[in-house]
Structure 1
Amino acid sequence: MANVILVFASMTGNTEEMAQLIGKGVEETGVNLTIRELPAAEPKELEDFDGIILGSYTYGDGELADEFLDYYEEMDGLNLNGKIAAVFGSGDTAYDQFCVAVNILSDKLTELGATIIQDGLKIELAPDDEEICVSFGREFGEKLKEVLALK
């Protein structure tokens, strides 16, 4: 059975709500899911999972969440070749850079060898439509199972 880790950082609870809804969608596909909220996660454990989902709010004018900074730096040197990944985040369009943390984390995962299998999910503040997040998780779980079946 496929194993997925979902690691997220949340300051106001918006990204945490997204993480829980995405996790619900992943679990609906029968995939094993582990959820970790930063700082209670170690980057090295990403190598132990088939699928990786990272989530972060965007802080200020396009910065990665403070809780993600050390984790992000400690990801350097990981081998994520063959890993399937996706990224989500919350942001505020009042800032010039909307949900840039999603792009930052997607680029890092790609740099480390992971394959991003769906567009990043970017939500303004909190999810108004919960189904968008649940569907994101469900889509990830289904695509992961398809990829693993081809191996």
Structure 2
Amino acid sequence: MKMCIIYWSGTGNTEAMANLICEGAVSTGADVLLKEVAAASAADVETADIAVFGCPAMGDEILEEDEFEPFMQSVAGALSGRKVGLFGSYDWGDGEWMRLWEDDVKKAGAVLLKDGLIVNLEPAGDDVENCRNFGKELAGM
């Protein structure tokens, strides 16, 4: 099973989540490609069995607008029928950005494997294991 994890992180919180999710998936034997969005391409998504995307909530609970949102728009056509997982960190709000993002990938035809994983600020305590388990569970689907 081949998984790609593509993320954007401004403060390092979502990057920490990405690394923990990767650890969890790798522990199951998954072949995982982990990339920051600036280094990612549509081919990374198209060649993966499961595409996992990570982005924190920005501003009024939206995706990061300069790099991540344009990337998601560029791969929207490749999401139809593709297994997808979403994750990200936040500092305020109630997770609206994740619900909107889930709706967007479903509208693009993606198969959302689980509800998006959200963590308040940096993963700590139970969040660490929740991130690893998220990776394990996605890899097992």
**TM-score, structure 2 as length reference:** 0.88
Q: Summarize deviations over 1:119-146 as a string: whole Å, max 9, x none.
A: 111100111121111111111112x2xx
Q: Which runs of 4+ in 1 moved over 6 A?
A: none
1:54–1:105 Cα contact (<8 Å) kept? no
For 1:26 and 1:105, how far apart are their aligned partners in 2?
A: 22
Q: Give the percent of matched residue pairs that are identical in Structure 1 and Structure 2.
A: 30
In our comparison, the structure showing a higher alpha carbon Rg is: 1
Within a 5 Å distance, the mapping from 1:7-86 to structure 2 comes to: 7-66=6-65, 67-81=67-81, 83-86=82-85
RMSD: 1.6
Q: Summarize deviations over 1:89-125 as a string: whole Å, max 9, x none.
A: 10012xxx43444334322322222211111111001
Kindly state the Cα deviation for residue 80 of structure 1 after the two structures are TM-superposed: 3.0
**TM-score, structure 1 as length reference:** 0.83
Cα–Cα, structure 1 residues 7 and 101, in superposed 2: closer, same or farther, change >3 Å? Answer: farther
1:136 corresponding residue in structure 2? 134
Residue 102 of structure 1 aligns to a residue whose secondary structure is helix
Q: Summarize deviations over 1:21-50 as a string: whole Å, max 9, x none.
A: 000001111111001102111134312111
Where structure 1 has 5 or more consecutive residues not aligned to the other structure, the ranges are 145-151
Q: Summarize deviations over 1:60-101 as a string: whole Å, max 9, x none.
A: 1112113212102212322531x22110110012xxx43444
Q: Which amino acid aligns with 1:57?
A: P
Within a 5 Å distance, the mapping from 1:70-109 to structure 2 comes to: 70-81=70-81, 83-93=82-92, 97-109=93-105
1:148 corresponding residue in structure 2? none
2:108 corresponding residue in structure 1? 112
